[in-house]
Chains A and B, each alone.
Chain A
Amino acid sequence: MASEPFSPATALVAGIPARFLFVLIPVAGLLAFAWIMWRRIIPLLKAAPDPRMGQIGQRLFLVLKIWLAQWRHPRYLLAGVLHIVLFFGFLVLGARSTQLVFLGFREGFVLPGLGGGLGAAYNVAKDYAATAVFLSVVILGVRRAFFRIERYAVPPALGKDHTPEALFVLGMIATLQVSESLFEASLLAAGGGSAPVLTLSWAFRHLLAGGSVPVLARLNLAAYAVHDLTFFYFLCFLPMGKHFHIITSLFNVFFMRVRLGNVKPVRHGITDAELDDLKSFGVKKIEDFTWKHILDFYSCVDCGRCSDRCPANAVKRPLSPRFISIKARDHIFKRFPLIGKASGESENLIGGIFSEDEIWSCTTCGACEEECPIGIEYIDKMVDLRRGMVDDGMVPQTLQKPMAALEKRGNPWGKLEKKRGDWTKAVGDELPVPLVENGESAPTLYFVDSMTSYDDRMQKIAQATARILHHAEIEFAVLGKDEKDSGHDVRRFGEEMLFQSLKEQNLEAIRESEASRIVTTDPHAYNALKKDYPELAPSVTHISELIALGVESGKIRLRPLEDTSKTYTYHDPCYLGRHNGIYDQPRQAIDAIPGLKRVEMEGNCRDRSFCCGGGGLMLFYEPEEEMRMGVVRVEQARQAGADVIVTGCPYCLTNIEDAIKVAGLEGKMEAIDLCELVDGQLQRG
C-alpha cells in the first residue's frame, strides 16, 4: 500500500517512535527462539546415530502425502478436517505474518514477489485463511472445553489435564487472527477500502466504519502490537510443548520410516560382527535413543490417536503410546533445561518414567504407527527399551523359560528338535512330505516355524497347507529338525544375540536345502524372513498369496461351500496386514469359494485391524489387563454379524479360539485358518 493514513512504523507512543519497540520485539523474540531451539537441538546431537537420508524419492512422496496432503488426518473426521483447515491456513498466512513483522519498522513493506496482481490475490486468500483459522479454533475450543474426548483424557497418575494448555494455545491462535484482521480492518476503514466479503476483516471493517482516523490509528497500533507480541511469544512457546510439531512435523515426516515391519539394528553403524564389542545394548537412559526418536518425542501432538487404536491400551494394560512420547519429552525438557547444565547423572528410564510391564505389554502390532499423522515410530523404541532390560537381566520369569528353551531347543516350549517334523506323518491321503533332515529337497521350502510345527491344534494348518500345495502341484519340502524358530519375536523382545544365533542356524539350513523360494503360513516367520534375514537368497511368499494366484490361474479349484448358513469375516493379522500390506490376497482366496458370505469388521479391518493379543513370546507373557485382546476382537466380529472368523496366522487362531471360549461363545462363533478353509473346499480328484 503506497500511501497509508498511518502505520506502526511511523507511530509515536508518548513521543517515542514505536518502531524501536517493533524492532526490539522481533530481535528479542528471534534471539530467545534461537536460544531455545539451540537448547532443544543439543539432546539430538548427544543422541545415537540414525541414518535417514536413504530413499529420498520415497521420503519426498511421504512428505507430500502425509505432511502436505494430511493424508491420515481424516481418519478422525472432525478433528482431522479442522486440522487440515488450520494447517493450510497457517501455510497461507506464513507470508502475511512475515510481512507484518517488517511493517513494524518499514512502512508499506511488501514481500518480494507479492506486489501487484499476485499480492492482491494473496491478500484475498490470506483474509479467508485467517477467517477459516479463526472459525476452526473457535469450534475446536468449544469442543475441547465442553465435550469430553476420550483420547485426550489424562489418567490422574500421569499429571494434570492438558485442556487448559490446549485452550491457551487455541486462544493465542485466535488472538493472532483477530489482531491481524483488526490491523487490516482499521487501515481499510481509515483509507476507504474494503475487505473480502464474509471474512473477519470484513466484519471488523463494518464495525469500524465511521470511526475517526486518530482512533483507528490507535486501534491499528494496538492491534499491531498485540499481534507482534503474540506472534513472537507463540514462536518461543512452540518448542515448549506439543506445539513444537508446528516446527518439527515437516522434518519428522521426512525422516519417518519408509520400510515396514523391520526393526532397527542395535546401533546404527555397528555391524552384527561388532555387536560383542558394545558395552551396553539397548536404551537405558534417554540419550541412548536415536536423534529421530528424540525428534519423535518433540513432535508428539498429544492427539491420543495412537493410544486410541492401541490394543494394549484398550484392554487396560499399563501401556499408552501417547504417554510414552509425552513422558519422554518431559524427561528431556527436565534433563536438558533451557537455562543451566544438564542435571547430574542421567536416570534409568525403566523404573523411572517407564515401568517394566509398560514396555513388555506392547504386542508390536503397529496400530500406533499406522495412525500417527506425523510419522512417530514406537516399535523400535519398545524394542530398544527391551534390549536395555534384557542387557540388565530384567526379564520377567515367564519369558525367561521360553527364551532358555529357544536357546537350547530352537522352540519356546523346549520340545525335542526331532519332533519338529512329526506333523508331516499325519497329512494323510498318502502324501509323504519330503523332509530336508532326511536329505530330501524341493525347489519350494515350506518354512513352518515353531507354533505350527509343535502345537497340536496348529499342526492342522501345516497339514492343510501340505494338501493345498500338493493340489496346486507345487513341489515342496520341509526342513524338519534343522528348522529353528525364526526368532522374529525373540528379536522384538530384545534378545538380539539369541535372535542372531537362531537366524544363523536357519540360514545355514535353508542354504543346505537349496530351495529357491520359501512359502510360509506364519506371518511372523514371513516378516522375519523378509525383513530380519537380509542375507536370505530365496524369495518369500505367504500362503495366501499363493492361494490367490492359484485361484486366479485355475491351479487351485474350489468346491462350493456346503453349509451356506454362516457368515464369515476375515481378521487381518498384524504381521500380514499392517506390516506387510497383504490385505487383498487372503480376501480373494476366501471370496473364491462359491456360496461363501463374507462381511468386513467395518472400522476395524485392514490397516485398522485389532490385534488378537500377540504372537511368539507374547503367548508366554502374563500381562496386567482387564480383558483379553482376543475377546475384544471376537466381540467386533460378532457385532459385524459374523459367526466364523477366518484368519491367516497360527497365533491369531489360538488367541481367537481361546477368546471364543472365554467370551462364552462356544457353539455360536468359531475360528478357522485360511488354509483349513481352503483345504476343506479343494476339489478332490
Chain B
Amino acid sequence: MDAKVFVYAVHKDGQADDSALELLAAAGTLFPGCAPTALVTGAGSAVAAVAKELAAAFPEVWSFDAASLAYPNAELLRPLLVKALPAGAVVLLPHTTLGMDLGPGLSVKLGAAYVPDVVAADGLEGATLKVVRQEYAGQVSAHVTADVSGGAVLTVRGGAFRPGTPAASGRIVDQSALAEGLTARRKFVEVIAAEAGDIDITREDVLVSVGRGIGEQENLELVHDLAKAMGAAVSCSRPLVDAKWLEKARQVGTSGQTVKPKVYLALGISGSFQHLGGLKGNPFLVAINKNPKAPIFQVATVGIVGDLLELLPVLTEKIRKG
C-alpha cells in the first residue's frame, strides 16, 4: 500500500522529542518501504531548528510556523492537518495527552481508521494493517486489524519502538501559509506547572520505589540520585511514610496511592500484599532485595538478590554516563 505516512513531531525548547524518532521507526515497521514526512508546528525560530534537526532523519519535513501554533492546541492542529494532509494519509502520533486529544477527532475528520496505543506491529496485508494493542491496563494483549484503505491515524505507545539511527537529508517544506486564518472554539490560556510539593506518583510512568530494606534514612539519598538520573519519581512503601522519611503522597499501597507505571523499581521492598495492592497494570518490575525469599520476586519481571547500598551508586553512574 502506498499511502503517504506522516509523523507528528513533538518538540521542546528547540529540540525534537525522543518520540519523533520512535515514530519514524514505528512508521518503518508498520508500513515498510514508506518515506515518512515529519510535521513540525510551532511559532518562531524553534520550528526551523527542529525541522533542520529532523531533516537529518526524515526524507521530508513540513514546517508550520505561525503565532497561533505557539502552544500545541489540538483544536487548532486538527483543522490544520485536515487542510494539509492528502486524502488517505496515515498519521502517526505519540500516545500522550496530546495524541489522545488530537487523534480521535482527526481520524473522524479525515475519514480514516483510528488505532490508539499501538505497542507492536503485526504485519501489513494490502490495506489491512495488523498491530498489537493491550487491554485491561495491560493484563491482556490483543491482535487488532484496521482497514487503512481510507487512511489511518495511529497513536503509538512511548518506548514501544526503538529508534534506529537513520541518516537522511530530507527536504524542508514550509507549509506555514496553511496556518493562516485558523480558529478554534478552544483557546489555550496557560500551563500551571505541578508544584514541587505536589507529588502525584499516580501519573508517573517510571517509579523508583523504596522500602525498609534501604536501612537508614541517610541512604535515601542513593535512591533520589538514581531516580533523578532516570528522570523518574520516587515512591515508597508505608513504613517509610510512618517513619516520616517520605511524604504520604509517595506511598504505594492499599492504604496509599494506586499507581500504574510502565516501569517500577522495587528497592528493598519485600512485596507485601498491602504494598502490591497499590501497584496495577503489570509494569516492568525490577526487584532488588537482599532476601532471596522475598515475595516480591514472585511478581517481579526481573530480580536481583543484592545489597542496595552497593548496587545503586553503580547503577546511577552507568545511567548518567548514558
Contact = CB atoms under 8 A, between A and B. Distances in A.
A666 B239 CA distance: 12
A662 interface: yes
A457 B273 contact: yes
Contact of B238 (A413, A621, A627, A658): A658
A662 B295 contact: no
B277 interface: yes
Interface string A506-537: 00000000000000000000000000000000
A34 B277 CA distance: 61
Nearest to A619: B255
A658 B254 contact: no
A631 B243 CA distance: 11
Contacts, number: 32
A485 B256 CA distance: 23
Nearest to A618: B255
A620 interface: yes
Contacts of A456: 272-273, 295
Contact of A628 (B212, B242, B248, B277): B242
Contact of B239 (A620, A621, A661): A661
A404 to B, nearest CB: 14
Interface string B236-265: 001100110000100000111000000000
Interface in A617-643: 619-622, 627-628, 631
B212 A661 contact: yes
A413 B295 contact: no
Interface string A448-461: 00000011110000
A413 B239 contact: no
A658 B239 contact: yes
Given A658-B239, A661-B239, A662-B243, A622 B277 contact: no
Contacts of B272: 456-457
A661 B215 CA distance: 11
A455 B273 contact: yes
Chain A binding surface SS class:
loop
A368 B30 CA distance: 69
A658 B272 CA distance: 11
Contact of B255 (A457, A622, A661, A666): A622
Contacts of A664: 243
Interface in A539-589: none
Contacts of B295: 456
Nearest to A625: B242
B247 to A, nearest CB: 13
A555 B273 CA distance: 36
Interface string A646-685: 0000000000001001101010000000000000000000
A662 B239 contact: yes
Interface in A385-420: 398, 413
A398 B255 contact: yes
A662 B238 CA distance: 9
A133 to B, nearest CB: 50
Nearest to B276: A456
A379 B4 CA distance: 71
Interface of B: 212, 238-239, 242-243, 248, 254-256, 272-274, 277, 295
21 contacts: A413-B254, A413-B273, A455-B273, A456-B272, A456-B295, A457-B272, A619-B254, A619-B255, A620-B254, A620-B255, A621-B255, A622-B248, A622-B255, A627-B242, A628-B242, A631-B242, A658-B239, A661-B239, A662-B239, A662-B243, A666-B212
**Top 5 A-B pairs ranked by shortest CB distance?**
A662-B242, A661-B239, A662-B239, A456-B273, A455-B273
Given A456-B273, A662-B239, A662-B242, 14 more contacts: A398-B255, A413-B273, A413-B277, A455-B273, A456-B272, A456-B295, A457-B272, A457-B273, A619-B254, A621-B255, A622-B248, A658-B238, A658-B239, A664-B243
